[in-house]
Amino acid sequence: MTIQTRGVTATPAPDDDRLLHLPGDPGTRLTAPRTAGRVGRAVTATVLCVWFLLPFTPLLLWAVAERWSFPAVFPTQWGFGGLESAIAQGAVPAFGRSLLLGLVVAAVATPIGAMAARALTMGTVRWPRAIGVVLLAPIALPAFASVMGLNVVLLRAYVPPLVGLTLVLVVIALPYTTFAMRVAYAAHDIRYEEEARTLGASAWQVLWRVHIPLVAPALARAAFLAFLVGWSDYIVTVIIGGGSIVSLPLIIAS
């Protein structure tokens, strides 16, 4: 038995100039780096970071300033007097209270806003536009006017200041969480959940393994907005708290 072998010669891939291009084809590969897009994203991210960090610049300067008189652009005398004064006034416990308040508000307002947004988007409630207008009321009305009489009502109902403050901040955060989730549910494809039920998944499995992973980015955005409401509030904390709840914004303002 004779075995014959044939040589195989590798043919080099043709250059881009020799490739056949269809009409309208610019001739660029799909995997080619898009330099302009990367530069645009980098510039946008840089601008957003600067925009976010810019309000903290005066606070950081005051923390290391002993003296800062007008019209000086920067402190005229450096030191840690501002930081020591803030710590002496209870900045560390106030930071913990603000952090806890923001987390609680986010934990309560995010699921409520998600359920409201799903009901409004899926058409399971009547008069969704009217309900949407009502949800905007905490944003449309000034915070001072909205909560001016609530402190008396909460006191007469024997509601603890911390509980009352949390409830009011949750109501204020609901418009942000609801409309953030409503945008997500407008693009949400419910057929994924229906397919999971068809395959035998329970309601709990559909919620945790299908629904929440699909809307997780929107939930994170809504939770962040609700956290900011509880973290940075000043007017509602002063009125509802009545001075018994000292948060970080109150320390900074003082």
Q: SS3 for 203? A: helix
pLDDT at position 195 over 70: yes
Buried b / exposed e over 65-102, threshold 16 CB at 10 Å, is beebeeeeeebeeeeeebeeebeeeebeebeebbeebb
Give pLDDT, residue 67.
81
Task: Please check whether residue 102 is in contact with residue 165, taking contact to mean a CB–CB distance below 8 angstroms.
Answer: no
Average pLDDT over residues 134-150: 77
Token pair 């009547």 is found at: 126
Average pLDDT over residues 218-226: 94
Buried b / exposed e over 24-46, threshold 16 CB at 10 Å, is eeeeeeeeeeeeeeeeeeeeeee
177, β-bridge pairs: none
pLDDT at position 111 over 90: yes
Q: What's the pTM value of the predicted model, to 2 decimals?
A: 0.73
The C-alpha angle with vertex 241 and arms to 235 and 242, in degrees rounded to 5, equals 95
Over residues 144-185, the pLDDT tens digits come to 777 877 878 887 888 888 888 999 999 999 999 998 998 888
Per-residue pLDDT band at 32 (split at 50, 70, 90): very low
pLDDT at position 17 over 80: no
Q: What is the CA radius of gyration of the chain?
A: 28
pLDDT at position 72 over 90: no
Q: CA end-to-end span of the chain, whole Å? A: 100
